[in-house]
Amino acid sequence: MAKLAIIYGTGFGNTGIMAKAIEEGARSAGLEVLIKKVDEASPADVEKADAIAIGLATYKGAGMPTVIKYVQSLSKLQLKGKVGTAFGSYGWSGEGPIVVANTLKGYGMDVIEPPLRIKRIPEAEGIEECRKLGKMIADKIKR
């Protein structure tokens, strides 16, 4: 079974809501899903995954430092050709997911763009967008 690893950091819980909705969409499309907060994750969690979704809030015009450090730790892995994406909630500017998506592209991943960004708390429409992203990841892996 194809596998998606969702690793995320969340400041106020909003990116966590998004992560869980992406998980729902991916599972409904037949993927095995590993979902972890970044402080509980290791690079080994994504090594055997077919796809990686990294979630983070924007912090000072970039991403949460813990998530950025985690993504940088993935540079030693063989990620070329795997599916990748980034997502996150933001209050002002929302650059965090863009920074991560660009880093994943630099690792040779097949990145789904644009990254999914939702301002503040994901409402019903935003949660549905997250579920669609989970299904989109599944479709892309299965191709």
- Give the domain CATH number at 41: 3.40.50.360
CA-to-CA distance for 60 and 78, rounded, in angstroms?
30
Q: What is the pLDDT of residue 58?
A: 87
Q: What is the pLDDT of residue 29?
A: 98
Q: What is the pLDDT of residue 138?
A: 97
Domain that holds residue 121: 3-142
Q: Provide the number of structural domains found in the chain.
A: 1
Q: How many other C-beta atoms lie within 10 A of the C-beta of residue 125?
A: 8
pLDDT in tens, 18-72: 999 999 999 999 999 999 999 999 999 999 999 999 999 988 878 899 999 999 9
pLDDT in tens, 71-114: 999 999 999 999 999 999 998 888 999 999 999 999 999 999 99
pTM strictly above 0.85 = yes
Question: What DSSP assignment string belongs to 8-31?
Answer: E--SSSHHHHHHHHHHHHHHHTT-
CA-to-CA distance for 56 and 30, rounded, in angstroms?
25
Is the peptide bond between 114 and the residue preceding it cis, with omega within 30 degrees of 0? yes
Q: What is the pLDDT of residue 42?
A: 96
Task: Please say whether the beta carbons of 55 and 85 come within 8 A.
Answer: no
Residues with Cβ within 8 Å of 56's Cβ and at least 6 positions away in sequence, in order, are 8, 9, 10, 15, 38, 63, 64, 67, 68, 86, 88, 96, 97, 100
CA-to-CA distance for 97 and 122, rounded, in angstroms?
15
